């Protein structure tokens, strides 16, 4: 994946759902309890990357000392909830719940945010496609998008660029 040189932004001109999901290792010695939880996520992410028609726009994975975070962008909360009810996900979720029930060796969390159209701003400098820029497409910073204030105060535009 290439790097977009210089300053770029994205125009989040439609609603987007941001979903954070991850886990925390609470007991490093209980590998047999937390490793299966770690291994449950990659197949689901691979499925989403293969099937963009599910409403998944893009995502990023982060690994820290004992903590993981999957940052995902979805077209809508309905798409996210529909995926949660799909057979492949339900099967993995039920298995996951069995593993974490009564298992204090691993913690789990998720957060969901619905972001209305035109209510976010972003800047990327010498970065590959990332975050909302990856989800909505990077565009070079231009007149009217040079500052965070300008990017955040964009008004809804028509397809011909007029306000």
The pLDDT of 112-124, averaged and rounded, is: 93
* Coil/strand/helix, residue 89: helix
The residues, ordered by sequence, that sit 6+ positions from 107 with a Cβ below 8 Å of its Cβ are 23, 24, 26
Is there a domain that residue 157 lies in?
A: no
Is there a domain that residue 28 lies in?
A: yes
Same domain, 109 and 148: no
Same domain, 61 and 105: yes
pTM: 0.85
H helix intervals, 103-143: 131-136
The owner of tokens 């990077």 is 138
Same domain, 148 and 69: no
The number of domains in the chain is: 2
What does the pLDDT look like over 44-101, one tens digit per residue?
Answer: 888 899 998 999 999 999 999 999 999 999 999 999 999 998 877 888 778 777 777 7
What does the pLDDT look like over 12-48, one tens digit per residue?
Answer: 989 999 999 999 999 999 998 888 888 888 888 888 9
Rounded CA-CA distance 83/75 in Å is: 12
Same domain, 88 and 71: yes
Domain, as residue range, for 96: 16-115
**3-state DSSP helix/strand/coil percent for the chain, to nearest 5?**
35, 30, 35
């Amino acid at each position: 994946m290439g790097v977009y040189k210089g300053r770029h932004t994205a125009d989040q001109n439609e609603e987007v759902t941001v979903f954070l999901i991850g886990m925390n290792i609470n007991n490093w010695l209980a590998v047999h309890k937390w490793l299966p939880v770690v291994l449950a996520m990659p197949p689901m992410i691979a499925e989403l990357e293969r099937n963009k028609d599910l409403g998944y726009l893009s995502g990023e994975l982060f690994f820290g000392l004992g903590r993981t975070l999957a940052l995902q962008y979805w077209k809508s909360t309905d798409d996210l909830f529909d995926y949660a009810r799909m057979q492949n996900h339900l099967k993995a979720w039920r298995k996951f719940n069995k593993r974490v029930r009564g298992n204090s060796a691993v913690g789990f969390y998720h957060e969901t945010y619905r972001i209305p159209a035109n209510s976010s701003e972003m800047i990327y400098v010498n970065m590959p496609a990332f975050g909302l820029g990856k989800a909505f497409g990077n565009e070079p910073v231009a007149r009217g998008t040079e500052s965070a204030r300008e990017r955040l105060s964009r008004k809804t535009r028509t397809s011909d660029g007029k306000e």
